[in-house]
Amino acid sequence: MLNRRSFLSKSTAATLAMLFGSSVAQKKIKAQTTPENNLISGPLVISTWIHGMAANEAAMEVILKGGRAVDAAEAGVRVPEADPENMSVGLGGLPDRDGKVTLDACIMDEKGNAGSVCFLENIVHAISVARLVMDTTPHVMLAGSGALQFALEKGFQKENLLTEKAKKRWEEWKIESKYQPVPNIENHDTIGLIAIDQQGNISGACTTSGMAFKIHGRVGDSPIIGAGLFVDNEVGGATATGTGELVMRTLGSFLVVELMRNGYTPQKACEEAVMRIVKSNKNLKDHQVGYIAVNKAGETGSFCIQPGFNYALFKDGKNVLIDSGSYL
């Protein structure tokens, strides 16, 4: 009879044989720069882009005080949400084509609970509204004016999220009014963060103002459980950044976690999820998608379509920014 350990090592070996034995596509993947086999036994926080550095610090502070991973994840992403200089998350986010800042966010804990808000206006901390959807309602997702009403009922203050700087950028954009996704905009974008606490529990959070100058009402991947974020405490967690439509069509974060469940390392799982997008899209140069992932053992991985994506990793007492490997 196979015990769990021998089953896992056999299935991992089978997966590796499959990966190395096949696929022209796999050969195209450049050597990635992620440290390999970074097995840990302590707490860990991983998050997207350079703004993840400050988010990781806030998240790790919660963990080191003995807090839950879900509290750490929420606290972490609240940092870029509150930063008016950050033009892709929360306050100061670039607006849609009508000049409205609309936010998407979701959160998932170690028990598989999930909460989400989308198309939310006038509330800085969308992630904390998502948290309350998870903790205090029988629902997973609230949208638009209903999400706003819920937030106000819970005591959140209505605020103008459109800063002068973001308004100016919108006014410049209006001259041509051409919608064009811009890869690696501002060198940061959605923040997605996965945390492992001192109990070894995994949770995650994801929050964004979404694609700049999108059609009013557009919702991206970030608030969709399984697309922008997915956590399974037995397996690991993953989160996404970039062109949400490409992530939604492949349910990317769920895919990464399911691949890890089937024996892929976090690195190989992120690569395979990017390859699903690569295979079905001819026009890759205008798009970026980046995934980060961590498994239950604390191994991490990341991969993206084109160079420029980086992520912050806080483990073993050190918080570092790492360039992701890319397909192009």
Complex with ligand SD4: residue 43 or 252, whichever CB lies closer: 252
H-helix segments, 22-51: 24-28
Q: Is 207 a catalytic residue?
A: no
Which CB, 201 or 222, lies closer to ligand SD4?
A: 222
3-class DSSP state for residue 241? strand
**250 contacts: CB under 8 Å, gap ≥ 6:** 273, 276, 277
| Least distance CB 220 / ligand SD4 (angstroms) | 2
State the catalytic residue, choosing from 102, 190, 207, 208. 190
Among the listed residues 92, 115, 244, 325, the single contact to ligand SD4 using CB under 6 A: 244
Contact 200, 85 (CB under 8 A): no
Instruction: Please work out, in degrees rounded to the nearest 5, the angle formed at the alpha carbon of residue 310 by the alpha carbons of 308 and 314.
Output: 170
Q: Contacting ligand SD4 (CB under 6 A), which of 81, 109, 121, 189? A: 189
x/- letters, 134..163, toward ligand SD4 (CB under 6 A): ------------------------------
- For ligand SD4, give the closer residue by CB, 204 or 242: 242
User: At closest approach, how far in Å is the CB of 59 from ligand SD4?
Assistant: 20
Binding flag, residue 90, ligand SD4 (CB under 6 A): no
Amino acid at 48: T
By the rule CB under 6 A, 237 interacts with ligand SD4: no
- Triad 51, 228, 198: Cα angle to 5°: 65
292 Cβ contact partners less than 8 Å away, ≥ 6 residues apart: 46, 47, 48, 192, 194, 238, 239, 270, 300, 301, 302, 311, 324
116 interacts with ligand SD4 by CB under 6 A:
no
Please state whether beta strands 102-108 and 236-242 pair in parallel, antiparallel, or not at all (unpaired): unpaired
Query: Is there binding between residue 86 and ligand SD4 (CB under 6 A)?
Result: no
Shortest distance in whole angstroms from residue 101 CB to ligand SD4 = 12
95, 220, 236, 301: which one contacts ligand SD4 (CB under 6 A)? 220
| Length of the chain (residues) | 328
Among the listed ranges 43-51, 70-78, 241-249, 259-267, the one in contact with ligand SD4 (CB under 6 A) is 241-249
Among 221, 232, 271, 272, binds ligand SD4 (CB under 6 A): 221
Element (H, E) at 258: helix 252-261
Q: State in angstroms the smallest separation of the CB of 311 from ligand SD4.
A: 14
| Binding track, positions 8-47, relative to ligand SD4; x by CB under 6 A | ----------------------------------------
Instruction: State the amino acid at position 256 in one-letter form.
Output: V
Q: Are 281 and 262 in contact (CB under 8 A)?
A: no
CB atoms within 10 A of CB 8: 12
Read off the tokens for 49: 């882009």
Handedness of CA 108, 124, 207, 295 (dihedral sign): negative
- 122: contact with ligand SD4 by CB under 6 A: no
The residues binding ligand SD4 (CB under 6 A) are 189-190, 208, 210-211, 220-222, 241-244
Instruction: Indicate which residues carry an active-site annotation.
Output: 190
